[in-house]
């Protein structure tokens, strides 16, 4: 399926800042459901790619899991795969809760690799690809750096937590964006950013304490997919 490309709107962000809260805040960070780009092994990045039938079923199962839970706000990447996943996840929410679309929650921009399959890139740039996946190369050719990705995703989440202190929040983003966000919030070195493998529609739960400390309470939870018939 053809990918629809968007221009990268980002520049390096400001250094991360601590969050000092009056009351603790809980955030569920969710990766979007399966897309055609995922099953084709493409670097989708900022390019648009549709959810597969399996992905739609995953997102609906997530919605059933969250049914009856109360949230104070929701945000997602402004890419359609994240927005649609968020809508399915919140379709049973007691009150209408449309996700706030924030471009800072987009996936990494992959520059010259945008929309290309990793298998095709490996034919001509195998060494670069290997260095990228092992963390020795911090950006795809002409693309966004890992540090830029870490800073912008963390800034987006900090702004949301600041705004809804003491609340329960839902954030829908992308695989590498979530890995970068977690690495930044937990103070991990740049080379360890890709240590987190994030599954489609997985739920990662973060708590932000009064002291500004971030706790990873749950990671990559896909319990809602167990026993579910997927196409």
Report pLDDT for 3. Answer: 52
Report pLDDT for 18. Answer: 53
Selecting among 26, 32, 114, 151, the annotated active-site residue is 32
pTM of the model: 0.90
Q: At what angle do helices 80-89 and 53-66 cross, to 10 degrees?
A: 40
Strand duo 203-208 + 25-31: pairing: antiparallel
Looking up tokens 């977690």, which residue turns up?
182
Contact 21, 213 (CB under 8 A): no
Closest by alpha carbon to 32, among 100, 87, 110? 87
Looking up tokens 């079923």, which residue turns up?
57
Closest by alpha carbon to 214, among 25, 57, 11? 25
Contact 10, 144 (CB under 8 A): yes
Contact 147, 138 (CB under 8 A): yes
Report pLDDT for 227. Answer: 84
Alpha helices in the chain (DSSP H): 36-39, 53-66, 80-89, 118-133, 146-163, 175-185
Report pLDDT for 9. Answer: 47
Distance CA 195, CA 177 (A): 12
Query: pLDDT tens digits for the chain (231 residues)?
Result: 445 545 444 444 444 455 555 678 999 999 999 999 999 999 999 999 999 999 999 999 999 999 999 999 999 999 999 999 999 999 999 888 889 999 999 999 999 999 999 999 999 999 999 999 888 888 999 999 999 999 999 999 999 999 999 999 999 999 999 999 999 999 999 989 999 999 999 999 999 998 778 999 999 999 999 988 888
Report pLDDT for 7. Answer: 47
Per the annotation, the verdict on 107 as an active-site residue is: yes
Report pLDDT for 103. Answer: 98
Contacts of residue 189, Cβ cutoff 8 Å, sequence gap at least 6: none
Three-state DSSP class for 191? Answer: helix
Selecting among 26, 34, 107, 114, the annotated active-site residue is 107
Give the CATH architecture of domain 25-223: 3-Layer(aba) Sandwich (3.40)
Per the annotation, the verdict on 48 as an active-site residue is: no
What strands lie across the sheet with 168-173, from one edge to the other?
A: 100-101, 73-76, 168-173, 25-31, 203-208, 214-221
Domain boundaries, the chain: 25-223
- The number of angstroms, rounded, from the C-alpha of 88 to the middle of its chain's C-alpha atoms is 16
Report pLDDT for 136. Answer: 82
Report pLDDT for 180. Answer: 97
Distance CA 205, CA 200 (A): 15
Q: 169: which strand partners?
A: 27, 73
């Amino acid at each position: 399926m053809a990918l629809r490309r968007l221009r990268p709107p980002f520049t390096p962000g400001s250094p991360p800042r601590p969050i000092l809260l009056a009351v603790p805040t809980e955030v569920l960070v969710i990766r979007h459901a399966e897309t055609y780009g995922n099953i084709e092994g493409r670097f989708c990045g900022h390019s648009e790619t549709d959810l597969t039938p399996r992905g739609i079923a995953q997102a609906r199962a997530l919605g059933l899991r969250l049914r009856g839970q109360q949230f104070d706000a929701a945000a997602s990447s402004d890419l359609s795969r994240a927005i649609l996943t968020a809508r399915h996840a919140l379709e049973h929410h007691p009150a209408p809760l449309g996700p706030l679309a924030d471009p800072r929650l987009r996936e990494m921009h992959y520059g010259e690799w945008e929309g290309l399959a990793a298998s095709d890139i490996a034919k001509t740039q195998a060494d670069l690809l290997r260095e990228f996946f092992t963390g020795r190369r911090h950006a795809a050719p002409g693309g966004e750096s890992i540090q830029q990705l870490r800073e912008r995703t963390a800034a987006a989440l900090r702004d949301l937590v600041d705004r809804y202190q003491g609340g329960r929040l839902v954030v829908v983003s992308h695989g590498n964006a979530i890995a970068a966000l977690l690495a930044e919030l937990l103070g991990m070195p740049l080379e360890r950013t890709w240590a987190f493998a994030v599954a489609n529609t997985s739920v990662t739960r973060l708590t932000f304490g009064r002291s500004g400390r971030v706790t990873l309470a749950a990671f990559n939870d896909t319990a809602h997919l167990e026993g579910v018939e997927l196409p």
